[in-house]
Amino acid sequence: MTIGLRSMRAQILRLAMGFAFVLSGSLGAMAATPAEDFVQQNIAHGLSILNDKAAAHDQMEANFRSFLESLTDFHRVALFTLGDAATRLPASDVDDFVTAFHDYAVAEYQSQLAGYSGGSLVVSGSTERAPGDFIVRTATADTEGHVAGNATDIDFRVSNRDGKFVILDVGLGGVWLAIAERDQFTTFLGQNHDDLVALTAHIRQVTANLRAQ
């Protein structure tokens, strides 16, 4: 499970957040909705934190974690990845999993994005799936913001609750990361007699390996 899941997550994260957004000129005008503005501005801000060479490593990590927590609903995403197991397994085990998933996601984002640069993302539009639920479409581009014919399309699912946007999922080529994780976790639980404690321990080991890199 780990190799396939991490490979997919790494590919999506490198593409989705491993590019600096173009923030000026005609590309800035393309971000015509609040959801599009949210995506465009915050990914660039995350990269600026990771690339702040003046900050001590521990401080950079704390700043990046706070940044991610401000724009990602980790609790909601973690419960989603568990599927119906979130309601039928012991609440204490679910809470422990949510904490472990939170730490894992932050470590994975930092591992894949730290020091990465090159290229840009261009916001190409958005769709409101339901009230307050948006898909923001972007495409990879060169450093000047030119989108090639073979550009990779990356989608962000964002939710607006009480006037605050949060990221719920990232999609690449029609594959949504949280949905893929849910499938992987469901398979793991099915093969291990619904042992959520084992899944949580596995995620914690992956997190520890990431932090040791």
Q: Domain map of the chain by residue range? A: 2-117+179-212
More confident residue, 196 or 118: 196
What is the mean pLDDT of the segment spanning 29-54?
76
Closest CA to 146 of 27, 40, 18, 19: 27
Residue that the structure tokens 């499970």 belong to: 1
| pLDDT tens figures, 7-39 | 555 555 554 544 444 332 333 444 479 999 988
Q: What is the pTM of this model?
A: 0.77
3-class SS at 101? helix
Note the pLDDT tens digit of each residue in 90-103. 999 999 999 999 99
Question: What is the pLDDT confidence band of residue 86, given thresholds at 50, 70 and 90?
Answer: very high
**What pLDDT score was predicted for residue 12?**
54
Mean pLDDT, the chain, as a whole number? 79
The DSSP line for the chain is: -HHHHHHHHHHHHHHHHSSPPP-SHHHHHH--SHHHHHHHHHHHHHHHHHT-TTS-HHHHHHHHHHHHHHHB-HHHHHHHHHTTHHHHS-HHHHHHHHHHHHHHHHHHHHHHHTT----EEEEEEEEEEETTEEEEEEEEE-TT-PPPTTPPEEEEEEEEETTEEEEEEEEETTEEHHHHHHHHHHHHHHHTTT-HHHHHHHHHHHHHHHHH-
Q: What pLDDT digit, counting tens, does each position of 116-167 carry?
A: 455 566 788 999 999 999 999 887 766 666 676 666 788 899 999 888 999 8
pLDDT of residue 17: 47
Q: What is the pLDDT of residue 75?
A: 93
Say what the pLDDT of residue 143 is. Answer: 60
Q: Which residue has the higher pLDDT, 6 or 112?
A: 112
Give 107's pLDDT tier (boundaries 50, 70, 90).
confident
Tokens describing residue 213? 């890199």
Joined tokens for residue 97: 């999993």
What mean pLDDT is predicted for residues 2-11?
Answer: 51
